[in-house]
Chains A and B, each alone.
Chain A
Amino acid sequence: MIRFENVTKRYGENVGLEEVTINIAKGDFIFLVGPSGAGKSTFIKLILREIKPEEGEIYLDDMCVTQISNREVPKLRRKAGIVFQDFRLLEKKTVYENVAFAMEIIHKTKKEIRRQVPQILSLVGISDKAYKYPEELSAGEQQRVAIARAIVNNPTVLIADEPTGNLDPTTAMEIMDLLNKINRRGTTVVMVTHAKNIVDVMNKRVIAIKDGRIVRDECGLYDLVCEESSDDDTDEEDLYV
């Protein structure tokens, strides 16, 4: 479903990713962890073709991300729902319009939009806020809207870059429940996080990156996979969550 083959990405002298090879199966739920600057965001940007690697190939489903033309990038991004730490909602649109917009982009009819959007809003538990603007919502609610927007077109994969980074622990766990729910509906989920307790509770596949390299890749706890780096950057995040 997502495949990296020997992918290397450098920013000048900085290493983004170094010879990364990985395979994420359909329906998986994976955590991408590692210290700050490890290359987690780079990993995600590569999948979305925001940047191109110097070496290696990346595949999403049947699409070779590294080979497609710029014109095909929108098609690629429609295969993937994306959620960010800072939500990135359209401020001038209501909750409903934000979600509907993702459908308008792919030329869905008004009828389809009217049918689909309320369903998704109810799935993420935000139906009662449909006609509010993002600034009128709490952070957790905004993230729910962002998730609704990300999954409304039934993407094959949901990619989340620290989706709980701006949320308090309780809200973060609620968002995790939601992501789990979405994953059980068949959507592959790739989530970047620093939150140790979330990783521990969820007990999913954990891929740890450090200095651009994959240092661990196994199911289970945060500690298990990150022992080498758990003393620096990750500690403060642990306190936070």
Chain B
Amino acid sequence: MFRRMGYNIKQAFVQIKRNKAMTFTSVLAITAMMLILGVFFVATININLFAEVVKQDFDMVELYIEEDYSLDGIKKIGLEYESDEGVSKVEFRSKEDALEIMKSRWGDNGYLLDNLGGNPLPDSLIVYVKDAETAKIIASEALDVEGVEDVKYYQETVEKLTKTTNFIQMASLVIMLFLVLVSIVVVSNTIKLTVFARSKEIRIMKYIGATNWFVRGPFFIEGIIIGLIAALVSTGLVAIIYDNIMAIIGADIIRILSVPIVPIEYLAVNLAIIFVALGVGIGSCGSVISMRRFLDK
């Protein structure tokens, strides 16, 4: 069929022109599928990224030190933890450092913290651990240590998060597969109409010795074109939607929450690649399926 690419493409466009309404309908249907798919995709990516970032807190336990506890005392606690086999490193973070870190996280809004009138943050020890078990033990026993006021440890959150993300991933996968199947059915039905309209012609072609691929060629290309158009439209739409959602939430809030967000440029490129591959796949499968019965004999 590739020897006759020019013929196939020309013929495909003729068919599309003859069947504008149906072509439009299937592009629309596939675009709708891809939109849902795209939203799932974007959400999944962001949730995954978020989970990854949160998981980094998993290997550390933050111990908040009582107000006015002596520096020597703090050092002692630190050394004690450092001797633990499961601990890789202990870091001291003064209340000033903590404020600095927070300010940098808040970025342009950091000035808000200047008006606090004093530093409400405590000194802290950050205990980096080698495994989750140690973190659990340290976290559960730390409150009994003299000088430790509070413990920040996200284990439960992280576990829940992992479970949730796994679930979301599985669910998205199932839904995406389903959507892809629906799309294939939609495309194959559109193309079936073109095939019906040209059944006489196809029969003649077969009589004079045309191979199945010769007959299929234009329909194959037609399917691919439908898929491609849908892919491009949906990439654009998803990008616009994503951009708008981010704008509504606002960059400031996102930064303050310190939630990482995948940049739109990166997403758009990947989405385009995925959608194009998917569109071509759906279109070609749809066309081949729609002609199966026709070319059997």
- Our pick among B3, B7, B211, B296 for the contact of A74 (Cβ within 8 Å) is B211
Tell me if A82 is interfacial: C-beta within 8 Å of chain B: yes
Tell me if A111 is interfacial: C-beta within 8 Å of chain B: no
B211: nearest chain-A partner, CB-CB: A74
CB-defined contacts of A89 to chain B, threshold 8 Å = 204
Tell me if A107 is interfacial: C-beta within 8 Å of chain B: yes
- Our pick among B203, B205, B296 for the contact of A105 (Cβ within 8 Å) is B205
Q: How far is the CA of A150 from the CA of B201 in the complex (A)?
A: 16
Tell me if B246 is interfacial: C-beta within 8 Å of chain A: no
Interface residues on chain A, number (Cβ under 8 Å): 22
- What's the nearest-Cβ distance from chain A to residue B11, in Å? 11
Are B209 and A77 touching (Cβ within 8 A)? yes
Within 8 A of B (CB), among A52-77: 70-71, 74-77
- What's the nearest-Cβ distance from chain B to residue A48, in Å? 8
Tell me if B214 is interfacial: C-beta within 8 Å of chain A: yes
Interface residues on chain B, number (Cβ under 8 Å): 18
Majority-rule SS of A interface residues: helix
Are B3 and A77 touching (Cβ within 8 A)? no
CB-defined contacts of A25 to chain B, threshold 8 Å = none
Are B209 and A78 touching (Cβ within 8 A)? yes
Q: How far is the CA of A70 from the CA of B211 in the complex (A)?
A: 10
CB-defined contacts of B4 to chain A, threshold 8 Å = 104, 107
Are B208 and A149 touching (Cβ within 8 A)? yes
Tell me if B297 is interfacial: C-beta within 8 Å of chain A: yes
Are A82 and B207 touching (Cβ within 8 A)? yes
Tell me if A114 is interfacial: C-beta within 8 Å of chain B: no
Are B208 and A105 touching (Cβ within 8 A)? yes
Q: Given A74-B211, A88-B200, A90-B201, output 6 extra A-B contacts at Cβ < 8 Å.
A: A50-B297, A77-B209, A88-B207, A105-B209, A105-B210, A105-B211
* Contacts A/B (CB < 8 Å), 20 sampled: A50-B297, A71-B212, A74-B206, A74-B210, A74-B211, A74-B212, A76-B209, A77-B206, A78-B208, A78-B209, A82-B208, A88-B203, A88-B204, A101-B208, A102-B209, A104-B7, A105-B205, A105-B209, A105-B211, A105-B214
